Amino acid sequence: MIVGVLVGLVSLPFWLPKAVVALRNRIFTWINGPEGTRVEPAHFLAVYRNPAAAGRSRGAALSDLFWYWLAPGPHAHQEHIEPGERYTEVARTTRRILAAGHQDAPRLAAECVARVLDGLGDRPVTAVRLRDLMMPVWAEFYYELVFGRRCPPEARDLVVGNANDVASALKCTSLRHMRSRERLTRYLLAHLAEVPHALPPSLSAEDKAFYLQGAFFNTAVVQTSEGMAHLLMALARHPAVQARVRAEPDYLGPVMEESLRLYPLFGIAHRITVADLTVEELSIPRGSVVLFDYPSFHRSGFPHADRFEPDRWTGLSTSDVNHVPFGVPQNRACPARGLVPVVMRVVTAEVLRRFEVCSTATHTRSMPNRGPALLVRSGHRPTVRLGLMRVSDFLADVPRGVTQLVLGTYMVWDARRKRLCQKYFEAGGV
């Protein structure tokens, strides 16, 4: 009996996290109801590009969950606005702000990362969480893109607090803290007149603040920080690849594609069909929720798809394979797809110029551990710390998995209760 209990306890880290994920999915489906048609890789592009797959928020219970996670002001967040005049205006504004900063972006990204790395001091080995390391870099970067001036520390703390809260709630490692998010909304509202770009004229002042918060201080900061955390984590876990990037900077191109392929930032994107949709033998009626599973699409058609192999990109064009890390251009693709790879390169080069990045922690797509890593100055070999990192990360998986299960269940239930998206449309929202 005692032996059985001991074996159970010791083996917990091996099976509990997986069991918790499976249980979480079952509980989410139970609360939320089964919803949506998952589009197989064979039809993924044809359905995603189809004009009938144009609905964004209205009519999907799933939208209540995303509106909850990305609040406040999800109705003014570009990602959630239904196609129409308001969407066109908002999308045009985002493109303009990104385009205005494009030329200067590499210099700006270099300055932002240098400031954050300078602040780490000169210890031979510094333990970091890569997502946390990157958030202030991108908070300062996008602030300067939007406001056209250097980010004051007060604003940087508000943006990082907001982005961190959104990312942690999305991964169910923490609940939402609306007061902290609303502090950023108030800051943006108070400083709206200082934004040098024309903002969508049909939006109220409050909705303009929500729009900026959603597109630039949630999505942009969270996504670029996560994308960078994955890229640096992949380099940290593959020292030979890291050494090659140092010797051949152009090799970062295939490494970045491989990181985006294996760790796409979107798990599942959804759309609601606005007309009957037929693709080959597949028929999807109007009003259906269609689900695009990025990880499975990015794996189909690649040999050894679960391995991190940047060399697979040699002689391969991204348009010939199942690879859409920024979405499909015909259906609301990411407006930052031109800018992001350029600035991610600059920031990676600066980190690698100063440090060797090492990690023995697990690297999964949702990265609930926020990417534990050591930044090592040359000449040091932190073997013991790397060994300890592996053990502590492995053990932390158990309480983290249980926390995700409890908090995730609560948030899905709370989102279902609040019905933010449904109520907005019932009240005549467009």
Residue 204 CB, shortest distance to ligand HEM, in Å, is 19
DSSP string across 334-368: -TTTTHHHHHHHHHHHHHHHH-EEE--S---SS-T
Residue 384 CB, shortest distance to ligand HEM, in Å, is 34
By beta-carbon proximity to ligand HEM, the closer residue of 334 and 389 is: 334
First-last CA distance in the chain: 62
336 near ligand HEM, judged by CB under 6 A = yes
One of 262, 279, 340, 376 touching ligand HEM (CB under 6 A): 340
86 near ligand HEM, judged by CB under 6 A = no
Helix (H) or strand (E) holding 257: helix 252-262
55 near ligand HEM, judged by CB under 6 A = no
358 strand-pairing partners: 374
Token duo for residue 138: 């991108």
Strands 37-38 and 289-293: parallel
Q: Which of 105, 103, 100, 94 is nearest to 344 (CA)?
A: 105
By beta-carbon proximity to ligand HEM, the closer residue of 269 and 376 is: 269
Q: Pick the piece of the chain touching ligand HEM (CB under 6 A) from 19-27, 212-220, 280-288, 377-385.
A: 212-220
**Positions 66 through 85 that interact with ligand HEM (CB under 6 A):** 78-79
Helix (H) or strand (E) holding 277: strand 277-279
By beta-carbon proximity to ligand HEM, the closer residue of 224 and 359 is: 224
The contact pattern for ligand HEM, residues 268-297, with x = CB under 6 A and - = no contact, is: -x----------------------------
SS3 for 125?
strand
159 near ligand HEM, judged by CB under 6 A = no
By beta-carbon proximity to ligand HEM, the closer residue of 91 and 203 is: 91
One of 57, 164, 224, 348 touching ligand HEM (CB under 6 A): 224
Return d(Cα 256, Cα 68) in angstroms, integer: 31
88 alpha carbon, distance to own chain's centre:
24
- Interface with ligand HEM (CB under 6 A), residue total 23
**Positions 93 through 112 that interact with ligand HEM (CB under 6 A):** 94
Handedness of CA 197, 202, 206, 210 (dihedral sign): negative
265 near ligand HEM, judged by CB under 6 A = yes
Return d(Cα 302, Cα 323) in angstroms, integer: 10
By beta-carbon proximity to ligand HEM, the closer residue of 185 and 223 is: 223
Look up tokens 């703390």; give the residue: 157
325 near ligand HEM, judged by CB under 6 A = yes
Look up tokens 């004229």; give the residue: 201
One of 143, 216, 217, 263 touching ligand HEM (CB under 6 A): 216
Token duo for residue 195: 């934004």
Interaction site with ligand HEM (CB under 6 A): 78-79, 91, 94, 215-216, 219-220, 223-224, 227, 265-266, 269, 325-327, 332-336, 340
